[in-house]
């Protein structure tokens, strides 16, 4: 009997969300490769970054991600890049997650290989995070990114902040890249408010995010999207099983009411796991004993 194919989910993030020709050139490295499926890519103008979702078999996915990183290093100069989202490098992150028939240990091993190859091929320093972190602090992206590119550049020579692979310094234009493996990928979720007062969105974001007393698996910011009216509580949700989408939606709605503000809608940015949608469906409809195989389309997914 033939062995079942293994698949990894990767959600890399590179530091350009504004220049269409640069974005397309970088993303093109993930297209048309046997064993690799580009699911989506989401350029974010204000953040000036692009988040990519790609699924693939380990070997071809590894090479595709390395080629993508090379193109990011070639086309993005961190001495010139500006954006509101925390970042330390042109190819800022390469996170891997088990998707099918593969263990977290195998994903962590592949992350180690990718990190080593990035430095060997491109001399870009690497930080390991998630299950690959060399210390407890570095399990969190926020610790590695503290001070962002500019701040990290000034302290990368110190024992606490130096890269895990490469010299105690950042690359002169590419910065550094964070490589990791972990159990669950993040879900990007926005909740829209009918107020132009961004301070309200910021107060709600502070309440919802883990470090300031909210949900431990959620990070959030309150911001204004220039292309639409109102403001938004923008969340990265790292475990939608522990903290479901409906729970954060209801929390934001409840907090907004304190300020006389209503929620106008919400948005999932990029792909989301079916189980996370079913979770909220069960909650809002009060479904009992609902099974995934009751969804007809699920029988086409195997």
Q: What domains, with CATH codes, occur in the chain?
A: 7-181 (3.30.990.10), 187-296 (3.30.70.670)
292 to each of 65, 70, 153, 268, 274, how far by Cα in Å?
32, 40, 48, 20, 9
Can you tell me the distance from the alpha carbon of 268 to that of 250, in angstroms, rounded to the nearest whole number? 15
pLDDT tens digit at each of 302 positions of the chain: 356 889 998 989 999 999 999 999 999 999 999 999 998 888 988 889 998 989 999 999 999 999 999 999 999 999 999 887 889 999 999 999 988 899 999 999 999 999 999 999 999 999 999 999 999 999 988 899 999 999 999 999 999 999 999 999 999 999 999 999 998 777 889 999 999 999 999 999 999 998 888 999 898 889 888 778 999 999 888 889 899 999 999 999 999 999 999 999 999 987 788 889 999 999 999 999 998 889 888 777 55
| Interhelix angle 198-208/245-258, nearest 10 degrees | 130
Buried b (16+ CB within 10 A) or exposed e, 266-283: beebbebeeebebbeeee
Question: How far is it, in rounded angstroms, from Cα 94 to Cα 64?
Answer: 12
What pLDDT score does 86 carry? Answer: 87
Q: How far apart are CA 192 and CA 247, in angstroms?
A: 15
Which helix (H) or strand (E) segment holds residue 250: the answer is: helix 245-258
pLDDT of residue 298: 78
| Residue 63 φ/ψ, nearest 5 degrees | -65, -40
Residue partners of 45: CB distance under 8 A and separation at least 6? 17, 18, 227
By annotation, the residues acting in catalysis are 85
pLDDT at 260 (0 to 100): 97
pLDDT of residue 129: 96
pLDDT of residue 272: 85
């Amino acid at each position: 009997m033939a062995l079942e194919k293994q698949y990894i989910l990767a959600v890399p993030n590179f530091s350009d969300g504004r220049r269409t020709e640069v974005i397309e050139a970088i993303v093109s490295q993930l297209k048309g490769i046997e064993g690799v499926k580009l699911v989506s890519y989401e350029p974010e103008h204000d953040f000036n970054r692009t988040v990519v979702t790609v699924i693939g078999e380990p070997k071809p996915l590894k090479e595709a991600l390395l080629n993508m990183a090379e193109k990011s290093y070639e086309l993005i100069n961190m001495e010139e890049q500006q954006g509101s989202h925390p970042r330390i490098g042109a190819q800022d992150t390469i996170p891997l997650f088990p998707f099918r028939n593969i263990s977290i240990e195998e994903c962590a091993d592949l992350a180690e290989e990718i990190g080593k190859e990035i430095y060997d091929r491109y001399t870009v320093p690497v930080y390991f995070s998630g299950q690959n972190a060399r210390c407890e602090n570095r399990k969190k992206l926020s610790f590695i990114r503290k001070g962002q590119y500019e701040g990290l550049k000034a302290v990368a020579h110190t024992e606490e902040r130096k890269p895990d692979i490469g010299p105690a310094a950042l690359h002169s234009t590419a910065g550094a890249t964070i490589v990791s493996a972990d159990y669950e990928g993040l879900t990007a979720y926005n909740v829209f408010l009918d107020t132009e007062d961004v301070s309200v969105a910021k107060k709600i974001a502070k309440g919802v995010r883990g470090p300031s007393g909210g949900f431990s698996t959620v990070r959030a910011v309150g911001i204004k999207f220039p292309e639409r009216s109102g403001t938004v509580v923008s969340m990265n949700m790292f475990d939608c099983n522990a903290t479901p989408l409906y729970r954060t939606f209801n929390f934001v709605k409840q907090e907004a009411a304190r300020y006389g503000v209503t929620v106008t809608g919400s948005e999932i940015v990029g792909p989301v796991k079916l189980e996370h949608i079913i979770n909220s469906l069960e909650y809002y409809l009060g479904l009992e004993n609902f099974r995934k195989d009751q969804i007809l389309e699920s029988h086409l997914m195997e």
